[in-house]
């Protein structure tokens, strides 16, 4: 127990030190494990050989018992990978109206990224374990093109990056209660492609469309307590760390300087205010999960930071025009429900979330919004899974000007995702297609853009995995500018990963 207390103290000090040094970069995500732990130590007995029957003397022997390994038990693993990407759609360098008058070139080779991932797993007795996972990458494409040709914001966001992903200790307080403290990811909801009730962890949005949601969640430091009774699990969460999303660098190929109209100089794009680590910014969440025969049901309630930023206005200009001084993030309230049901070869899913007190940028009063999702997965074909998900978001007390800068929000917006995957070569290879589209005011009006991605994952051996594919961005009509601004980011990519 003294070892456990010592390790817990070290982990707490380690988390606090990282916050103070680099709150925005030293983060990550990891899998949620909601079940109680019960692992027993094993005692290995060594077989003894008897003496030869023809021996002249009888010799008495006793069994020799091998002592169990002392806690903690350490396991080290990791992976190294290389990702290359080629942008075949950009037509010309992007003018940058920053003080250096940089012209950035995102054509051709857009990624040459080497990534290292290291994991340390530890077991402390029968019921406790901990994990530390760190990740970092370096992208050589900027050096190959010439680093002086890119702004500091772009280099900071895409050339090098490191984060501490998993840093937690987890165990059972008794047969019914689990505790997990540290940096972790908590996944809510049933959807694979659209976020409705899944609002706990922020996202890494630097390269939208390139990877799935499961690889984009960023961990936060939190205390999670799970109570298990019958078919139910009640979870209470205190989120200590007010972490924000990692956004595309302003001026990059994923957030061009003309995304809001005429090119905006670097100095004019408002900085965001990072929430301090404080009691006022502490977030709370509560969930109740029921697992039954053929279906499940989850209820959610949370008070967390909103993923979309608001604005703080400065002094008006002489002509009366308002100027944005900074970007801010406020907390919202959410209540939600999610369910799954298996019917033959179908997996039916539904989610609903009622979001309250949303700070929109162009309104004087906060708004409420209702998000509803329905979807289905079909696995009736051999080695094939087909999926369709549709989400509808409706803003109450909507004001018509909210569709324009800087809110870009429709009264009713639709998001759809179609996914299909086929597995072959003795389950070593899987090819997947994903189409994601956004729009407003009904299914026939999905005009705000999206992307489609097709890729193949191939397990060459137990240690080597390959994936390659293509992502195609679909521009919209420009009313909601984001996908319209990045429609020339189409690229092919390939990655090789070695695990150890």
Mean pLDDT by 10 residues, the chain (500 residues): 42 39 39 41 38 40 50 87 96 68 85 98 94 97 93 94 95 97 97 97 95 93 98 98 94 87 76 92 98 97 94 76 85 98 98 96 93 98 97 96 88 96 97 94 76 98 97 90 90 98
How far is 21 from 163, CA to CA, in rounded Å?
12
* pLDDT recorded at residue 102: 66
Tokens of 408: 């870009």
* pLDDT recorded at residue 310: 87
* pLDDT recorded at residue 451: 96
Half-sphere exposure of 456 (CA within 13 A, CB side): 11
User: CB-based contacts of 441: which residues, under 8 Å, 6+ apart?
Assistant: 410, 411, 412, 414
Q: Where are the alpha helices (DSSP H) in 100-257?
A: 141-145, 152-158
Q: What share of the chain is helix, strand, coil (3-state, %, to 5)?
A: 10, 45, 45
| Alpha-carbon dihedral sign for residues 48, 49, 54, 57 | negative
Domains within the chain, CATH numbers bracketed = 2-38+73-499 (2.40.160.10)
* Start-to-end C-alpha separation, the chain: 32
Tokens of 7: 């390790």
């Amino acid at each position: 127990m003294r070892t456990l207390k010592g390790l817990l103290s070290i982990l707490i000090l380690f988390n606090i030190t990282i916050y103070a040094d680099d709150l925005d970069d030293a983060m990550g995500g990891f899998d949620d494990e909601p079940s109680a732990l019960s692992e027993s130590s094993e005692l290995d007995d060594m077989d003894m050989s008897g003496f030869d029957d023809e021996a002249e003397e009888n010799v008495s022997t006793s069994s020799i018992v091998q002592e169990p390994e002392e806690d903690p038990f350490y396991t080290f693993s990791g992976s190294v990978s290389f990702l290359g990407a080629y942008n075949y759609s950009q037509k010309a360098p992007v003018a940058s109206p920053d003080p250096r008058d940089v012209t950035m070139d995102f054509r051709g080779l857009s990624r040459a990224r080497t990534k290292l991932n290291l994991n340390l797993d530890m077991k402390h007795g029968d019921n406790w374990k901990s994990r530390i996972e760190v990740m970092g990458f370096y992208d050589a494409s900027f050096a190959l093109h010439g680093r002086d040709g890119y702004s500091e914001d772009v280099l900071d966001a895409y050339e090098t990056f490191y984060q501490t992903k998993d840093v937690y200790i987890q165990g059972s307080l008794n047969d019914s209660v689990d505790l997990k403290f540290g940096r972790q990811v908590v996944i809510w909801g049933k959807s694979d492609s659209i976020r409705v009730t899944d609002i706990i962890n922020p996202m890494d949005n630097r390269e939208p469309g390139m990877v799935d949601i499961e690889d984009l969640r960023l961990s936060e430091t939190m205390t999670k307590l799970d109570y298990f009774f019958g078919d139910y699990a009640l979870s209470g969460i205190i989120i200590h760390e007010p972490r924000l999303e990692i956004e595309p660098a302003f001026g990059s190929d994923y957030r061009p300087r003309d995304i809001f109209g005429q090119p905006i100089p670097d100095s004019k794009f408002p900085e965001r205010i990072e929430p301090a680590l404080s009691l006022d910014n502490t977030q709370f969440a509560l969930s109740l999960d029921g697992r039954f025969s053929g279906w499940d049901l989850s209820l959610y309630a949370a008070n967390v930071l909103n993923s979309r930023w608001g604005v703080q206005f400065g002094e008006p200009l002489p002509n009366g025009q308002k100027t944005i001084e900074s970007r801010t993030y406020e907390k919202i309230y959410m209540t939600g429900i999610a369910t799954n049901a298996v019917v033959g070869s179908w997996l039916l899913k539904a989610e609903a979330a009622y979001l309250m007190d949303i700070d929109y940028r162009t309104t004087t009063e906060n708004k409420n919004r209702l998000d509803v999702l329905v979807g289905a997965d079909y696995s009736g074909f051999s080695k094939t899974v087909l999926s369709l998900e549709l989400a509808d978001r409706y803003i109450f007390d909507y004001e018509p000007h909210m569709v324009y800068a800087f809110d870009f929000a429709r009264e009713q917006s639709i998001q759809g995702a179609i996914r299909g995957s086929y597995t072959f070569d003795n389950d070593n290879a899987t090819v997947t297609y994903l189409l994601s589209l956004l729009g407003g005011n009904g299914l026939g009006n999905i005009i705000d853009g999206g992307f489609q991605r097709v890729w193949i994952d191939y397990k060459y051996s137990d240690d080597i995995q390959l994936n390659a594919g293509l992502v195609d961005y679909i521009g919209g009509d420009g009313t909601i500018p984001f996908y319209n601004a990045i429609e020339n980011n189409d690229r092919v990519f390939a990655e090789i990963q070695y695990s150890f």
